[in-house]
Amino acid sequence: MGADSWLVEEALDTLEDVFYVYDERGRLVHWNAVLAELFDLSEAELSGMAAADFFVSADRPQVEAAIEEVLETGRTVVEARAETTRGTVLFELTGELLTDADDESLGFCGVGRDVTTVREREWQLARRNEHLGEFANVVAHDLRNPLQVAKLQLEAVNGDPDPETVARVVEALDRIEGIIEDVLTLAREGRTVLDRQPVELAGVARAAWDAVETTGASLEVRTDATVEADASRLQRLFENVFRNSAEHGPTGESGADGRCDGAGGLTVTVDDTETGFAIEDDGAGFPVDIVEEAFEAGVSGSASGTGLGLNIVRTLAEAHGWAVRVSEGTDGGARLDVDFESLYTDTASLDDWAGGRGE
């Protein structure tokens, strides 16, 4: 190897990005040290590998389509996920056609750049902008109703107000206070969690249970998992789910954020799943007409609900990069799953994000 070739090899190996060269058959013929390190493969294993083989099965078709594009048009850019020694990574992959002096194709080369963090920030910014619109709707719509109630009750007072009128005004003002607190929580908790520490899931769940009014209900914790999280925000996630369950006791009014007259006999269970954990109760469950929109701001099965409880849960989860979903529980109650798989390396989430940009 000449001095110039050695220098080029050294330069490529200092890159933080993956560098690769494929022949006209789409087989790997040259690469830098980063690629070998990320996939923990030997030179013999890497030599001749197809590009799509590095990526998760769901993303292989788009990688194969990109290879066809670079060979036909001379250039391509595609994003795909891969399981690496650093975890699941979202790569932005480029391709440039290589030709000989007669313009005959020799293959292609390109760079694979880790864009996971970039997409996380873009996704979080998009979500925060979405929350701004939700806040405006809540303030404009939900606050107007209790304010109008209080105003009408006070206008009707002639002399000393009767206890019933005072009670209605207090109830309206309490509702306003609850909405304001929920909106402030959404604004504060939407920030991305940067400082994570090992947290025992069972301990946080029990602390949250003790902080919520759950008279007559019981908690079963079936996990000994430790997760990387912001302990205070994780506890608030549990608190909001527990409160939602308790306010929808087995005989109470159901809905995403409704109220009922107690949680007697209700059992709430926290358990491990393959990708995270689940919180499930044996209560009334979610009404069919709102389950698909349970996390949206303002969605509630009760006139007294703010419609922000589960929206806060989603916000707290997404601040950690986790995904959440609701479904019917084993015994017909409500179930909420939290998946530790990154939102930003999930195809559906990326499609949602891209769709919001009009792509």
Q: Where are the domains of the chain?
A: 3-114, 119-356
Can you give the pLDDT at residue 54? 95
Q: Domain 3-114, what architecture?
A: 2-Layer Sandwich (3.30)
- Which pLDDT score, from 0 to 100, does residue 351 have? 47
d(CA 241, CA 238): 5
The predicted structure's pLDDT at residue 271: 96
In sequence order, what DSSP letters do the residues of 326-356 get, joined into one string? EEE-TTSSEEEEEE-S-GGG-HHHHHHHHHH
Check residue 328 and give its pLDDT.
Answer: 85
**Long-range pairs for 12-20: beta carbons < 8 A, 24 or more residues apart:** 15/111, 16/114, 17/111, 17/112, 17/113, 17/114, 18/91, 18/111, 18/112, 18/113, 19/109, 19/110, 19/111, 19/112, 20/51, 20/109, 20/110, 20/111, 20/112
Tokens of 300: 């509630």
Question: Quick one: tokens of 349?
Answer: 């989430």
Query: pLDDT at position 85, please?
Result: 92
Question: For residue 5, what pLDDT is reported?
Answer: 66
pLDDT in single tens digits along all 359 residues of the chain: 555 666 667 777 777 899 999 999 999 999 999 999 999 999 999 999 999 999 999 999 999 999 999 999 999 999 999 999 988 899 999 999 999 989 899 999 999 999 988 887 787 777 666 666 666 665 655 566 667 777 777 777 766 777 887 777 777 777 677 667 666 665 555 566 657 899 999 999 999 998 888 878 899 999 999 999 988 889 889 988 998 888 765 544 444 443 344 455 889 999 999 999 999 998 877 766 555 666 665 445 454 455 567 888 888 888 888 989 888 888 788 899 999 876 554 444 444 444 444 34
Q: CA dist 257 to 25, 114, 161, 243, 300, Å?
A: 57, 40, 32, 9, 5
Q: 119-356: same fold as 3-114?
A: no
User: Which structure tokens are listed for 328?
Assistant: 């019917």
pLDDT (0 to 100) of residue 343: 55
DSSP secondary structure letter of residue 269: E
Could you tell me where the DSSP H helices lie in 190-308?
201-211, 231-246
CATH 3.30.70.20 for the 119-356 domain, yes or no? no
pLDDT at site 260? 42
Alpha carbon 337 to its chain's center? 11
